[in-house]
């Protein structure tokens, strides 16, 4: 049998098959039909196999002695795209559309990596996103399928590092130079930058979540009803609130200093006053 198999492999240009002629009962060796065709008539002792092309919506992928082509029986479902049309030699083939991967016959949306982590390998039609904790020097502040971003380099921009980045947020720079402020034209823009720098500095201090929430309540004048957020999430929200408030009223830095005193974060209050000469 092994020899036979080898012999068949050797003449793979024109594969054959054994057929028993219905009329004579004789065994004959017929030529197979090439891909895209089927056997319309089996061969006989004195006539070769008659092959015909597959009709529409039917195919044969290999050399064959089928009496009918196969029906293109794959249909693309929801969240799928056609990657191979049904033609005479191929069944229709489908794949999950962009942003989805295939799992147990279903197309599932690629997972997002939570804040503090990013995609080490982006998802494919066959595999989900692979997340990793952001490595040192990188951050991701939201849930996304993007990779972690590198921290910015303040010195390179001729600025001063105000807050060192971590895996949840970028490094924050400032051009504010406390004390150098004089009543020049640029001072309005500079004051604004200093206010923002002070807000950033306070928000990203290593403040216990409980006190951070108290600060937030005082500044936002909101009743106690915060959800169980992570420190990073509270920091982002609090910073956005303070930044918005700063644009509306200039007393926000003073309020923030007062609030620091109320919640007894004296060492931080001291640090802020010294750094920003307040």
DSSP line for 144-196: BSSPPEEPP-TGGGT-EEEE---SSS--EEE---TT---S-TTHHHHHHHHHH
Instruction: Name the residue number minimizing CB distance to ligand NAG.
Output: 182
Minimum distance between the CB of residue 243 and ligand NAG, rounded to whole angstroms?
16
Per the CB < 8 A criterion, the answer to whether 120 and 147 are in contact is: yes
Nearer to ligand NAG, 79 or 90 (CB): 90
Q: Where in 187-226 is the site for ligand NAG (CB under 6 A)? A: none
Minimum distance between the CB of residue 268 and ligand NAG, rounded to whole angstroms?
27
Nearer to ligand NAG, 88 or 215 (CB): 88
Q: Where in 33-52 is the site for ligand NAG (CB under 6 A)? A: 36
Cα–Cα distance, 197 to 162 (Å, whole number): 7
Which residues make Cβ contacts (< 8 Å) with residue 8, sequence separation at least 6?
Answer: 15
Q: Where in 86-145 is the site for ligand NAG (CB under 6 A)? A: 87-90, 141-142, 144
* Residue of 156, 182, 185, 206 interacting with ligand NAG (CB under 6 A): 182
User: Environment class of residue 100 by beta-carbon count within 10 Å: exposed (0-12), middle (13-18) or buried (19+)?
Assistant: buried
Nearer to ligand NAG, 148 or 252 (CB): 148
| Total residues binding ligand NAG (CB under 6 A) | 13
Q: Could you tell me the end-to-end alpha-carbon distance of the chain, in angstroms, rounded to an integer?
A: 95
Nearer to ligand NAG, 87 or 152 (CB): 87
Q: Per CB under 6 A, does 166 bind ligand NAG? A: no
Which residues make Cβ contacts (< 8 Å) with residue 207, sequence separation at least 6?
Answer: 215, 265, 268
Cα–Cα distance, 55 to 274 (Å, whole number): 85
Q: Per CB under 6 A, does 29 bind ligand NAG? A: no
Instruction: Return residues touching ligand NAG (CB under 6 A).
Output: 36, 84, 87-90, 141-142, 144, 146, 149, 180, 182
């Amino acid at each position: 049998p092994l020899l036979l198999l080898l012999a068949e492999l050797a003449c793979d240009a024109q594969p054959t098959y054994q057929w028993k002629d219905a009329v004579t009962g004789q065994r004959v060796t017929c030529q197979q039909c090439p891909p895209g065709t089927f056997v319309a008539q089996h061969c006989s002792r004195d006539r070769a196999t008659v092959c015909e092309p597959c009709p529409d919506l039917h195919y044969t992928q290999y050399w064959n002695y089928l009496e009918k082509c196969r029906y293109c029986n794959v249909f693309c479902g929801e969240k799928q795209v056609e990657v191979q049309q049904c033609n005479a030699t191929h069944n229709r083939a489908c794949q999950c559309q962009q942003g989805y991967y295939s799992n147990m016959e279903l197309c599932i949306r690629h997972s997002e990596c939570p804040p503090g982590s990013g995609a080490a390998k982006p998802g494919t039609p066959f595999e989900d996103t692979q997340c990793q904790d952001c490595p040192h020097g990188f951050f991701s502040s939201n849930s996304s399928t993007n990779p972690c971003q590198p921290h910015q380099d303040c010195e390179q921009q001729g600025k001063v590092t105000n807050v060192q980045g971590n895996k949840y947020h970028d490094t924050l720079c400032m051009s504010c130079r406390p004390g150098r402020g004089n009543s020049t034209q640029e001072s309005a823009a500079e004051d604004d930058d200093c206010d923002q720098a002070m807000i950033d500095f306070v928000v990203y201090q290593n403040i216990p979540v409980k006190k951070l929430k108290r600060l937030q309540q005082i500044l936002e004048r909101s009743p106690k009803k915060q959800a169980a957020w992570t420190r990073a999430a509270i920091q982002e929200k609090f910073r956005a609130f303070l930044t918005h408030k700063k644009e509306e009223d200039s007393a926000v830095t003073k309020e923030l200093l007062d609030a620091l005193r109320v919640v007894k974060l004296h060492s931080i209050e001291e640090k802020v006053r010294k750094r920003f000469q307040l």
